[in-house]
Amino acid sequence: MHFEPSEEQRLIEQAARQFAAEVLRPKAAERDQKSLFPEEELRKLGELGLLGVNVPEQYGGSQAGVVAYSLALSQIAQADASVSVAMAVTNMVAEVICAFGTEEQKQKYVPRLCSGDAVAGAFALSEPQSGSDAASLKTVAEKVDGGYRLTGSKQWITSGDRAGVIVVWARTDAGAPVDKRNQAAGLSAFLVEAGTPGLVAGRPEHKLGLKGSTTVPLTLDGCFVPDSARLSKEGDGFRIAMVALDGGRIGIASQAVGIGRAALLAAKDYSKERKQFDKALCDFQAIANMLADAGTQLDAAQLLALRAAFLKESGQPFSQKAAMAKLYASEAAGRICDMALQVHGGYGYTQEFPVERYLRDVRVSRIYEGTSEIQRVVIARSVLKEFSDHAS
């Protein structure tokens, strides 16, 4: 693995950094305080090629690879984590369609996602009673003449009320005997367009953080989709979801790195400006140690994210490494944001400084795309198998 980005990767990262500084950062606090969805900002990201960084050029993407995507997403998250969430999910939906869709589906949906014309993409897997246990979802896809009728409820859907296209998972084996040992076998995935009759988005959740990103429940009330809307074959849904989530964890790790970097820079700047007992805070060993630990953890988090991105880009197995990156980066970024607030003292607890927003925004990175506990399950399985193989 090369640790120095290529020229193309640097250019993508530089474009994201410039856009983040000039367009996103100035109004990030306002979007947070007023819960403003960044529709115009997402369209501009599309114009820059940042909504399809790892998507082939023939479908409107930048075709710059997963490493470039990780670097760009970190820059966007450093300025406004809410925008980075919509960017990450849209990239993920476009990649999923490219990986599993027909040529017709790719031509119809992916250019709209990459350009920003679709505003965003959404990923409807979770349900009110089905989060980490995705195989137990209850939404049903009933086969009818010419297509399917989708009936059920989805929960925690990022951009679900704004997305032009939503990947929806449903059970196509609803009439078959329940097989507790292999519930995943009957899951299928469908592409559902915004405005489809029977698709209803509920009230956006009032969240702790990421207030510029909408998170909504979705109701599917006999929502008809044609046969051409099914993604891959029947029963392939669980495999599609797992492939998408593995890649999505690289995105969340990269997002966490960006938020953590913003917090560390804020703490560094404040510690140099703020004086107590006639000297700057950074001159106190206790504060300097906090900054040192944070810098070390941030570098480790980014290296883990880039390793997973490199493996995926190279076509090598990356599931375990993505889980490691997501687990470590999300928890390290949480510690860094908490440290940054502590360095700011009482001011950090107010909206006068951005560190309270960083702390609120970063918290969910330990939950979505698989909780920290689920990441440990994934990692443990790989570790146990690896050591078993070495022993034999």
Q: What is the mean pLDDT of the chain?
A: 95
Q: Do the domain assignments include residue 31?
A: yes
Position 174 confidence tier, pLDDT thresholds 50, 70, 90: confident
Q: Range of 209's domain?
A: 123-235
Regarding whether 182 and 111 lie in a shared domain, the answer is: no
Residues 264 and 344 in one domain: yes
The mean per-residue pLDDT over the stretch 271-297 comes to 97
How many C-beta neighbours within 10 Å does residue 264 have?
23
Average pLDDT, integer, range 311-334: 97
148: phi then psi, degrees, rounded to nearest 5: -140, 150
**110 contacts: CB under 8 Å, gap ≥ 6:** 52, 55, 59, 60, 61, 94, 97, 98, 101
Is pLDDT above 90 for 272?
yes
pLDDT over threshold 90, residue 391: no
Residue 392 pLDDT greater than 60, yes or no: no
Q: Are 266 and 342 part of one and the same domain?
A: yes
The CATH code of the domain that includes 86 is: 1.10.540.10
Other beta carbons within 10 angstroms of residue 345's beta carbon come to: 12
Average pLDDT over every residue of 255-279: 97
Predicted confidence at residue 385, as pLDDT, reads 85
Q: Is residue 218 part of a domain?
A: yes
Considering the domain architecture, whether residues 13 and 102 belong to the same structural domain is answered as yes
Contact of 118 with 109, CB cutoff 8 Å:
yes
Is there a domain that residue 392 lies in? Answer: no
Q: Are residues 372 and 267 in the same domain?
A: yes
Q: Which CATH number covers residue 346?
A: 1.20.140.10
When divided into structural domains, the chain yields a total of 3
Q: Is 2 among the domain residues?
A: no
In a domain, 142, yes or no: yes
CATH number at residue 200: 2.40.110.10
Looking at the fold, whether 217 and 268 belong to one and the same domain comes out as: no
Show which of 57, 87, 119 is a domain's final residue: 119
Does some domain include residue 43?
Answer: yes
Which of 114-123, 125-134, 151-160, 233-242 is predicted least confidently? 125-134
The residue from 235, 252, 269 where one domain ends is 235
- Whole-number pLDDT of residue 389: 66
Q: Which residues are within 8 A (CB) of 12 and not within 5 positions of it... i.e. 6 or more apart?
A: 49, 50, 53, 62, 64, 68, 69, 71, 72
Please report the pLDDT score of residue 131 as a whole number.
Answer: 82
**pTM for this model (two decimals):** 0.95
Same domain, 93 and 144: no
- Residue 170 covered by a domain: yes
Query: What is the rounded average pLDDT of the residues 163-185?
Result: 80
Catalytic (active-site) positions: 369
CB-based contacts of 356, cutoff 8 Å, min separation 6: 341, 348, 349, 350
220 and 170 both lie in a single domain: yes
Residues 250 and 369 in one domain: yes
Q: How far is CA 149 from the centre of its chain?
A: 29
Mark whether 35 and 159 lie in a shared domain.
no
Task: Give the residue-averaged pLDDT of 291-299.
Answer: 98
pLDDT at 180 over 60: no
Of 218, 235, 252, the residue that ends a domain is: 235
In this structure, are residues 54 and 91 in contact, taking their beta carbons and an 8 Å threshold? yes
Written as one string, the DSSP assignment of 51-105 is TSTTS-GGGT-----HHHHHHHHHHHHHH-HHHHHHHHHHHHHHHHHHHHS-HHH
Residue 84 in any domain: the answer is yes
219 plus 286 within the same structural domain: no
Partner residues linked to 158 by β-bridges: 215
Contact in structure between 24 and 76 (CB atoms under 8 Å): yes
185 and 258 together in one domain? no
pLDDT over 90 percentage in the chain: 91
pLDDT band, residue 4 (cuts 50/70/90): confident
